[in-house]
């Protein structure tokens, strides 16, 4: 009898182990299948999280009509977020194509601009030569690199414009998935809580953290980036710098990087203005960049991002940079999100598996060691 029971237990363990192995394999294959649509699905999830409160309001307003509520919420998302973004991106691609043509024709010679900077600041050239005899050609190398990078950026802007069909297919897929996430979001979360074997309380805590960090990161970083890029673009236009809209959009993208962001654009432009003798314009740009554009980052980012994500500023910076390296433009959300989940998991572990010792336990432990 005991032998049969032992065989039954062994058979059950084998079946469960085989099933779990197949479950993991099928899950990995399914995720691999969705890999080409990662960006579209990811941003559909972001839309579902950001606009779920608005969807709930529409649901209460119109009663039991979830399809109508989700469609209306999606329409609001398109009007306030996607249409303006498409307009700005279209203008960005047009200016990028124009810049590429001017670079190809020689109308814009970045090497000549860098040469003027070197002539205006000869001390920097002497310093490089004394530091290393081989450093005398650094400016020439930077000139060639600047031309190559600018041409690369402008050329890829043209290619992105030509790939509009693929972009709009991804956009349609994102909106399609976002509709179902808005409509069925709470039910899907409840299903995941039931399916995952982490404990319902822990899972709800982690899902709440996921939603909180995603909302804070997207809303905070986008608001800051748009403000910094808009302010920088307006100042470029005011100073008569060509391609103000193009550089404004570039500053929006770079402003997603904490601390340095937009200064990577307005800083070199200010140096060039000083080099060509336009001291007033250069001084105005420096003061505006530090006092206004930089102030937006220093004041708003801790309020909109750091406070809600409950992450230190250095963790936000490192996780954002790491996210950009690993996930591209999506990294400004994924990086801080992974950092927040890392801290949340370790917080649960310390609280449940390694709680702080009470005073009596510490005394007993010390006595035992003695």
Of 61-75, 127-141, 204-218, the range with the lowest mean pLDDT is 127-141
271 domain residue, yes or no: yes
348 domain residue, yes or no: yes
64-75 core/surface letters (b: 16 or more CB in 10 A; e: else)? eebeebbbbbbe
Domains: count for the chain: 2
234 domain residue, yes or no: yes
What average pLDDT score do residues 129-151 get? 49
What average pLDDT score do residues 23-33 get? 90
Residues 112 and 87 in one domain: yes
Residues 188 and 81 in one domain: yes
Place of tokens 């498409």: 86
- What rounded mean pLDDT belongs to the chain? 75
Range of the domain at 344: 199-352
Residues 190 and 208 in one domain: no
What average pLDDT score do residues 110-121 get? 58
Residues 276 and 134 in one domain: no
Tokens of 269: 């432009």
More confident of the two residues 158 and 200: 200
- Phi first, then psi: what are they for 258, rounded to 5°? -65, 150
- Answer yes or no: is pLDDT of 237 > 80: yes
Residues 189 and 61 in one domain: yes
Q: Read out DSSP for 265-325?
A: HHHHHHHHHHHTT-HHHHHHHHHHIIIIIHHHHHHHHIIIIIHHHT--HHHHHHHHHHHHH
- Answer yes or no: is pLDDT of 231 > 50: yes
Which of 172-186, 201-215, 244-258 is most confident?
Answer: 172-186
What average pLDDT score do residues 165-190 get? 86
- Answer yes or no: is pLDDT of 316 > 70: yes
Do 78 and 178 contact (CB within 8 A), yes or no?
no
Tokens of 252: 């929006």
97 domain residue, yes or no: yes
pLDDT of residue 179: 92
Instruction: Return the percentage of the chain with pLDDT > 70, whole number.
Output: 71
pLDDT of residue 138: 47
Q: Which of 175, 195, 215 is the last residue of a domain?
A: 195
pLDDT of residue 20: 85
What average pLDDT score do residues 48-73 get? 86
Residues 165 and 257 in one domain: no
- Answer yes or no: is pLDDT of 60 > 80: yes
- Answer yes or no: is pLDDT of 101 > 70: no
Residue 19 — very low, low, confident or very high, per pLDDT cuts 50/70/90? confident
124 domain residue, yes or no: yes
Residues 48 and 189 in one domain: yes
Residues 223 and 110 in one domain: no
Residues 44 and 190 in one domain: yes
pTM score, whole prediction: 0.70
Residue 25 — very low, low, confident or very high, per pLDDT cuts 50/70/90? very high
- Answer yes or no: is pLDDT of 137 > 60: no
303-320 core/surface letters (b: 16 or more CB in 10 A; e: else)? ebbbebbebeeebbbbbb
- Answer yes or no: is pLDDT of 147 > 60: no
9 domain residue, yes or no: no
Tokens of 32: 């691999």
Residue 176 — very low, low, confident or very high, per pLDDT cuts 50/70/90? very high
Residues 204 and 318 in one domain: yes
Residues 307 and 237 in one domain: yes
149 domain residue, yes or no: yes
Residues 142 and 216 in one domain: no
Sign of the dihedral defined by the CA atoms of residues 330, 336, 342, 344, in that order: negative
- Answer yes or no: is pLDDT of 125 > 70: no
Cα separations in angstroms, 77 against 81, 239, 253, 272, 319 = 6, 34, 20, 41, 28
Q: Which of 151, 169, 195 is the last residue of a domain?
A: 195
Do 311 and 343 contact (CB within 8 A), yes or no?
yes
Give the model confidence (pLDDT) of 3-13 as tens digits: 555 557 777 88
pLDDT of residue 315: 82
Give the model confidence (pLDDT) of 247-280 as tens digits: 888 888 888 777 677 888 888 888 878 877 788 8
20 domain residue, yes or no: no
Q: Which of 172, 195, 218 is the last residue of a domain?
A: 195
Give the model confidence (pLDDT) of 327-363 as tens digits: 887 888 888 888 888 888 888 888 887 776 655 544 4
């Amino acid at each position: 009898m005991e032998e049969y029971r032992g065989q039954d237990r062994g058979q059950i363990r084998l079946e469960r182990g085989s099933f779990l192995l197949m479950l993991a394999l099928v899950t990995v294959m399914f995720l691999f299948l969705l890999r080409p649509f990662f960006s579209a699905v990811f941003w559909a999830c972001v839309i579902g999280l950001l606009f779920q409160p608005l969807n709930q309001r529409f649901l209460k307003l119109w009663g039991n009509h979830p399809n109508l509520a989700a469609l209306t919420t999606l329409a609001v998302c398109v009007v306030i977020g996607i249409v303006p973004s498409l307009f700005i991106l279209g203008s960005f691609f047009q200016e990028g194509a124009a810049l590429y043509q001017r670079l190809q024709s020689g109308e814009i010679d970045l090497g000549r601009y860098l040469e003027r900077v070197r002539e205006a600041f000869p001390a920097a050239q002497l310093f490089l030569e004394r530091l290393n005899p081989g450093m005398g050609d650094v400016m020439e190398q930077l000139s060639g690199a600047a031309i190559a990078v600018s041409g690369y950026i402008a050329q890829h802007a043209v290619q992105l414009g030509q790939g509009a069909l693929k972009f709009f297919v991804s956009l349609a897929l994102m909106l399609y998935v976002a509709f179902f996430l808005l409509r069925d979001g709470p039910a899907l979360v409840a299903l995941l809580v039931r399916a995952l074997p982490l404990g319902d309380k822990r899972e709800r805590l982690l899902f709440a953290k996921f939603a909180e960090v995603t909302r804070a990161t997207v809303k905070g970083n986008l608001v800051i980036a748009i403000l910094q890029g808009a302010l920088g673009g307006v100042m470029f236009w005011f100073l008569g710098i060509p391609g103000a809209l193009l550089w404004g959009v570039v500053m929006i993208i770079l402003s997603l990087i904490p601390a340095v962001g937009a200064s990577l654009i307005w800083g070199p432009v200010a140096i060039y203005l000083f080099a060509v003798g336009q001291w007033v314009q250069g001084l105005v740009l420096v003061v505006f960049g530090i006092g206004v554009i930089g102030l937006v980052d220093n004041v708003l980012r801790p309020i909109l991002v750091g406070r809600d994500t409950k992450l230190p500023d250095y963790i936000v910076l490192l996780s954002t940079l790491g996210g950009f390296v690993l996930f591209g433009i999506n990294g400004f959300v994924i990086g801080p999100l992974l950092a927040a989940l890392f801290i949340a998991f370790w917080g649960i572990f310390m609280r449940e598996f390694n709680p702080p010792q009470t005073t009596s336990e510490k005394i007993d432990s010390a006595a035992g060691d003695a």
